[in-house]
A and B are shown apart, each in its own frame.
Chain A
Amino acid sequence: MRRDESSLDELLENPRLWRGRSHANATVGLASGYAKLDRHLPGGGWPQRALTEILVEHYGIGELRLLMPALARLSAEDSCVDYRQHREPGWIAWVAPPLQPYPPALQHWGINLSRILIVRPREASEVLWSAEQALSSGTCAAVLLWPDRLDDQASRRLQLAAEKGGSWAIAFRPLVARHEPSAAALRIALRSDTNGTHLDILKSRGGRPTVLHKLF
């Protein structure tokens, strides 16, 4: 009996053993502005200092709308949680957006336009480099990126850079990437039809996969 207990302790101390619950509620998430979604995310919101992947089939089905309330809070003058100590609102970097983010609409959603940084690298390899720089600089509260491809290693790098800079990385990827491995803390697939936008939590560190119908 005693022998069994010690072997269980040994097993639990083994660094190769990953326990899904270990991260649960360790950090406070950033409220997404959608109560239904917040309930299903560990920490009650978007995971901070981590990589979030959003998988979409087409751009324009609501992937920006999903983020707008959270980004508006991050860029606001005095309301961001992480940056309160410094009284400095965070920047929001857009790396290689596929289309032009339209400032009047961003303003309408409450984004502080003076904190928008748009980076348009000319080569695909520079997208990840720019995003990593922005993430680890510690100035950007959130970094949105549209990489051509994101392998396991690259996602791990982004995850580490996000941890280092205390930033939130959001990578937008095509839906076909859902079967590729990724180091992201949260992976969400977004679908939409004429009824509305549906959300599929594929992976959530400290949470569990769910499907949310008709989020908005």
Chain B
Amino acid sequence: MTRARKSLVLAREPAPTPVAKDSRFRDQHSSQQALPLDAPQAVLRPATMAVSRRLWFCIHLPHLPLEACGPGSDPRVVIEEQQGVHRVLLADQKARAAGILPGQSVNAALALLPTLKLEQRSRPSEQQTLEHLAAWLERFTSVVSIAGPDVLLLEVAGSLRLYGGLLSLRQQIAVGLEQQGFAAALAIAPTPLAATWLARGGRRACIRAPENLTSALRTLPLYCLGWPDAVCEALTGMGVVSVGDCLRLPREGFARRFGPERLIELDRALGRLPDPRVSWRAPETFCADFEMTEEQSDRELLFMICRELLYELERFLRQRQLGTQCVQFSFFHLRNSATQLLLGCAQAERHADHWFDLLRIRFERLTLSEPVIAVQLRGGHAQALQTETRQLGFHRHGGEPHLRHSMAQLAERLAARIGRHSVQGVATVAEHRPQYAWRARGLLGDAPMGPLAVNKYDSQRPLWMLSEPAVLPAERGYPLHHGRLTLLEGPERLETGWWDEDGIARDYYKAVNPQGMRLWVFQNRNRRAPCWFLHGFFG
């Protein structure tokens, strides 16, 4: 209540002090409903910037429905069902030349041009195209925003220096869009809405100073604002046909008749109100399909398709400066469930050639039960690349540097062919039971090697261990292994592990047989009839 009264007072003040202006600004933030009342009339006061210096680059794609259908040379139109009738939404140049206009019924269009190709409008593919484009535009700025079904907004104030100024940046974006086959209307303005409206109006405007905004927007017709038809009609009925006309209306009355949102939009366009935009983020994981028109069993062809998908993955990851540790190929069949092929590597990787090498190893032994109708590549969780220091070419000592791949690369090559669990490192564990005194260690992945336990033993341990102790035959109490064993050292008593299921109570001996093999043998202490076991060779 106090706040409302205060703003009323402020509104009556002819020239607010800077402090008062600040408090007004806070009020605008906290309650948008109070806005139309306390904001000053545009004609009375020059526009003040409520936002910091920014520059918005708007890309309006009026032909997006047509462009989203992919390339095509025939005269074609995009059609959409409107109130039960299929009507032309957009016609390409050839179709327009034949006299086909948007809004015509399909029958009328076909009568004009029988060879006309009809494309059903697909909003999902339009959205997809827009996202594709947004991903491409992320190279120019970190703030790319999808602001409607056919509008992309870029905040470029921070990118000007890098791209050599506004004109050069504009040129690069325009050329890029044209190369990708998009006809776009570009406009640059200090506020996102102004840029959008200017682009919709087809003005090739480039406004840098906020002071020039009002004069640039004044002549824009109402349709550029994207307001509901009812509002536009009502305004036109009043003789208000341009933005300038709107600005000339009394603010209070305007807000009451057409809703406060319209006034807020005008204020935002003129930079009197902040207009925060959500910046679009490209998805973090990659997924791409390659669908074929007919089933294929030509492995060479499938291999090439996989390669193309991998290059697409590389482009995706390169744009984001990321890599991934695993990728999955799915080969879809018409009848059977899809064949999966999972590739993994030790470090985040993005180079297609690297993945291609791994794929080559696996692909030659992949069995495809049926011909393939589609191939899908799904990238794993994308993560930051680990940069590595490369050797300079003139370090010629100790082998050829270009051959020096990292261990990780070797491990993943081996794992790709013979399986993840067949490639491992080792580590020791602080434990007295011989079979638990070590563990296998994965070499793929970033798991750091913990500190190694250093066990001090009373006697030597064998270099070769049997995975399970083997029972030795005995002859009159002497163990046999290719002849009768002679005990050299021992016993070393190991009696531990009683706290879990796997406790041991053994007497270990070092023994030698007539062939000179040195063995590690033991006897269980608890048994009545002592049986000899072989546990390792000293090698």
B395 nearest CB neighbor, chain A only? A85
B421 nearest CB neighbor, chain A only? A120
Contact between chains at B423 and A105 (CB < 8 Å): no
* B458-471 Cβ-contact flags toward A at 8 Å (1 or 0): 00111111110000
**In the complex, how many angstroms separate the beta carbon of A102 from the nearest chain B beta carbon?**
4
**In the complex, how many angstroms separate the beta carbon of A144 from the nearest chain B beta carbon?**
12
**In the complex, how many angstroms separate the beta carbon of A172 from the nearest chain B beta carbon?**
11
The answer to whether the Cβ of B426 comes within 8 Å of any Cβ in the partner chain is yes
Contact between chains at A117 and B425 (CB < 8 Å): yes
**In the complex, how many angstroms separate the beta carbon of A110 from the nearest chain B beta carbon?**
12
The answer to whether the Cβ of B110 comes within 8 Å of any Cβ in the partner chain is no
Contacts of B399 in A (CB 8 A): 82, 138, 165-166
Contact between chains at B418 and A136 (CB < 8 Å): no
* A171-197 Cβ-contact flags toward B at 8 Å (1 or 0): 000000000000000000001111111
A84 nearest CB neighbor, chain B only? B398
The answer to whether the Cβ of A46 comes within 8 Å of any Cβ in the partner chain is no
Contact between chains at B438 and A139 (CB < 8 Å): no
Interface size class of B (residues with CB under 8 A): 35 or more
Contacts of B515 in A (CB 8 A): 57-58, 61, 192-193
Contact between chains at B398 and A106 (CB < 8 Å): no
Contacts of B539 in A (CB 8 A): 59-65
CA A119 to CA B416, docked complex, whole Å: 12
Contacts of B434 in A (CB 8 A): 102, 104
The answer to whether the Cβ of B536 comes within 8 Å of any Cβ in the partner chain is yes
- Contact partner, B452, options A86, A107, A139, Cβ 8 Å: A107
Residues in B420-444 with C-beta less than 8 Å from chain A = 422-428, 434, 437-438, 440, 443
The answer to whether the Cβ of B518 comes within 8 Å of any Cβ in the partner chain is yes
Contact between chains at B465 and A194 (CB < 8 Å): no
- Chain A-chain B contacts (Cβ-Cβ < 8 Å), number: 175
CA A187 to CA B283, docked complex, whole Å: 58
Contact between chains at B457 and A104 (CB < 8 Å): yes
The answer to whether the Cβ of B514 comes within 8 Å of any Cβ in the partner chain is yes
Contacts of B395 in A (CB 8 A): 85-86
Contact between chains at B428 and A103 (CB < 8 Å): yes
A contact residues, total (Cβ < 8 Å): 57
A106 nearest CB neighbor, chain B only? B463
- Contact partner, B428, options A113, A164, A196, Cβ 8 Å: A113
Contacts of B467 in A (CB 8 A): 99-100
Can you list 25 A-B pairs with a CB-CB distance of less than 8 A? A58-B515, A60-B538, A62-B516, A62-B518, A65-B539, A82-B399, A99-B464, A100-B464, A101-B463, A102-B438, A102-B461, A102-B462, A102-B536, A104-B455, A105-B460, A113-B426, A113-B452, A117-B423, A120-B422, A137-B405, A138-B399, A139-B404, A139-B410, A192-B516, A194-B486
Task: List the interface of chain B (C-beta within 8 A of A).
Answer: 391, 395, 397-400, 403-407, 409-411, 413-414, 417-419, 422-428, 434, 437-438, 440, 443, 449, 452, 454-455, 457, 460-467, 482, 486, 512, 514-519, 536-539
Given contacts A102-B465, A118-B426, 18 further A-B contacts (CB under 8 A): A58-B515, A60-B464, A60-B537, A86-B395, A99-B464, A103-B438, A104-B434, A105-B462, A107-B428, A108-B461, A117-B407, A117-B410, A121-B422, A133-B413, A134-B410, A139-B410, A192-B516, A197-B516
Task: List the interface of chain A (C-beta within 8 A of B).
Answer: 57-65, 68, 82-86, 91, 98-109, 113-114, 116-122, 126, 129-130, 133-134, 136-140, 164-166, 191-197
Q: Which 9 A-B pairs have the closest CB atoms?
A: A60-B537, A192-B516, A166-B399, A64-B539, A85-B397, A103-B438, A138-B403, A105-B461, A102-B465
